[in-house]
Amino acid sequence: MNYTTLARSIIRGDRKAAARLISVVEDEEEGYGEAMDMIFSASGRAGVLGITGAPGVGKSTLVFELAKGFRKEGKSVGIVAVDPTSPLTGGAILGDRIRMSELSSDPGVFIRSMGSRGGTGGLSLQASATVRILDALGCEEIIVETVGAGQTQVDIMGLADTVVVVTMPGSGDEVQSIKAGLLEIADIYVVNKMDLPGSMSTAADLRAMIDLVEDWKGWKPPVLLASASGARGLEEVAGSIRRHREWFSDPEAHMERRASQARKEIYDIIASGILRAISSAVTDEEMGELVRLVAERKMSPYDAARKVAGSALPGADLYKAL
């Protein structure tokens, strides 16, 4: 299969081609780089919104409601929903569509479910390529939903223009809200399930945390109460997203964030490409033998890593790197 043909079809609006190229990238099949170059040139128009938060706080329901809002404005929508891959079997149940089934036959919506596969930061390693493909396909708004994220799963920051962190009442005391990680990356906080007791104090804790920072450099994250399933507070969420986007749309002012996103993406592509190239330099049998030796403590894992990398990169001074 020639992937550049797929890329051309995608740019013409072929949804099936988009679905196929996403699989090619996910499966890390060889030789899609040129197609992704073409996709890159045809992308860059979509707004990218990230939705993250702990499992069960209502991310999928919020994504569904926000997507419906974009559709009412006449915009086409892409949704990338990531669910966890089993670390034991590599399998996954991807169930985010359950909350969005009303959208699945809408020709203006493209939903793709992804397993997190190797990704540990709340996204799949290939999520950014998937966003690009949907952008090139012509989706005007792209919403990325992370896996139910814990405290350090902050990859979404490297992908989205606007990050919404969703939380709910009873998800921890004041100290939880001043810890580092997820709660530092929000552009907008949504306290969902606002009809549950404690929603006001959860919002107050978040606001107190935000007020500790003296200079927000032009954007102070709002804390909004909402009930995604009860369709309450959603206008305010959509309004804040719009305001953040206007603020963020000045490229000069936000070069720093764009640069850190670009840096991360370059390193991610290098890391997965090099790992792929190096892994293919040893056979499964050779690798199995090294694994056995390390497991039996007859060889150090560093030594094994140098042996594998050494066969792909002859002459490199591996003692410096590994």
Partner 1 sequence: MARKIRVLIAKPGLDGHDRGAKVVARALRDAGMEVIYTGLHQSPEQIVQTALQEDVDAIGLSSLSGSHDVLFPRVMELVRKNRMKVLVTAGGIIPEEDVPALRKCGIAAVFGPGTSIEEIVKFHKDRLGRRS
Choose, by CB under 8 A, the member of 8, 9, 19, 289 that binds partner 1.
Answer: 19
Contact between 299 and partner 1 by CB under 8 A: the answer reads: no
User: Which of 16/220 has CB closer to partner 1?
Assistant: 16
CA distance 33 to 39: 10
User: Which of 102/174 has CB closer to partner 1?
Assistant: 102
Say how many residues touch partner 1, by CB under 8 A: 30
For the bound state, the minimum distance from the C-beta of residue 269 to partner 1, rounded and expressed in Å, comes to 15
Residue 229's contacts (CB-CB under 8 Å, 6 or more residues apart) are: 58, 61
For the bound state, the minimum distance from the C-beta of residue 17 to partner 1, rounded and expressed in Å, comes to 10
Contact region with partner 1 (CB under 8 A), list: 50-58, 110-118, 207-215, 312-320: 110-118
Which residue do the tokens 């990680």 mark? Answer: 181
For the bound state, the minimum distance from the C-beta of residue 1 to partner 1, rounded and expressed in Å, comes to 12
For the beta carbon of residue 208, count every other beta carbon within 10 angstroms.
13
Contact between 32 and partner 1 by CB under 8 A: the answer reads: no
- 314-318 contact pairs (CB < 8 A, 24+): none
Contact between 283 and partner 1 by CB under 8 A: the answer reads: no
Contact between 87 and partner 1 by CB under 8 A: the answer reads: no
Choose, by CB under 8 A, the member of 26, 65, 135, 141 that binds partner 1.
Answer: 26
Nearest to 38 by CA among 8, 1, 78, 16: 8
User: Which of 213/275 has CB closer to partner 1?
Assistant: 275
Q: How far is CA 15 from CA 9, 34, 189, 288, 318, in A?
A: 8, 19, 33, 40, 45
Contact between 27 and partner 1 by CB under 8 A: the answer reads: yes
Contact between 281 and partner 1 by CB under 8 A: the answer reads: no
CA distance 179 to 195: 26
By three-state DSSP, how is residue 224 classified? strand
Which residue do the tokens 């128009």 mark? Answer: 45
Crossing angle of the two packed helices 33-41 and 15-26, in degrees rounded to 10: 130
Query: How many Cα atoms within 13 Å fall on the side-chain side of residue 301?
Result: 1
Contact between 28 and partner 1 by CB under 8 A: the answer reads: yes
Contact between 23 and partner 1 by CB under 8 A: the answer reads: yes
Contact between 277 and partner 1 by CB under 8 A: the answer reads: no
Site for partner 1 in 89-108 (CB under 8 A): 89-95, 97-98, 101, 104-105
CA distance 142 to 209: 29
- Residues binding partner 1 (CB under 8 A): 15-16, 19-20, 22-23, 26-29, 85-86, 89-95, 97-98, 101, 104-105, 110-113, 115, 276
